[in-house]
Amino acid sequence: MMNGDKAKALAHVLQQLRARWGWFVGLGVVLLLLGGLAMIYVIAATLASVVFIAMLMIIGGAAQLVHAWGLKPWQAFAWWSVVGVLYVLAGVFALANPVAGAAVLTLLLGGALIAMGALRLWIWYQNRAQQGWRWLALSGVLSLLTGLLIAMGWPENSLVILGVLLAIDLIFQGWGMLALGLVLKRSHQSHQP
């Protein structure tokens, strides 16, 4: 596409988005309501997220098993089969016992945050002379501290952490969609003949 064609295509997409600003506002309101409900019923939100993740793991494991049956070399077949079976077993375990699944996922989340925080701090340390890298250090410290807080409160916090994170994510997405919808509404009104 030439630059003129790209500009026309972009203008067309923006025009379509402006005309549908109400959908963004509606979606934002729904996400805000769901986030509020998740914050009120945080344990239910945690268990629902564990059940959702468990179902995804079972589906992913089954897909890996189907993929394994299409492989010719024995080693590749065995590897993909083992990984698929482990995914299915982990998903079934979390589905059968969502409280224990929440504990495992919370511990994994804490460990991942600790590892990411430490990695960001190490990258910052290697590049600390460069301008603007303090933000990476701040991000690393915050990730590390969050991971340590989760790990120190484990397993007591397992029924709360995932639900709170889900609620916060829904609320932020809701505000983002609502703001985008209102901006599109103003833009739509200003482009009306």
Tell me: the pLDDT tens digits for 148-184?
Answer: 999 999 889 999 999 998 999 999 999 998 988 888 8
Q: What percent of the chain has pLDDT over 90?
A: 52
| 12 pLDDT higher than 80 | no
DSSP H helix total and E strand total for the chain: 7, 0
Distance CA 177, CA 91 (A): 32
Among residues 174, 193, 184, 190, which one has the least CA distance to residue 19?
184
pLDDT at 148: 94
Quote the pTM value: 0.72
User: Among all chains, which residue has been given the structure tokens 């982990």?
Assistant: 90
* Per-residue pLDDT tens over the stretch 69-114: 877 777 778 888 888 999 999 999 999 999 999 999 999 999 999 9
Q: 31-48 in b/e burial notation, b at 16+ Cβ within 10 A? A: bbebbeebbeebeebbbb
Instruction: Report the C-alpha gap between 158 and 7 in whole angstroms.
Output: 50
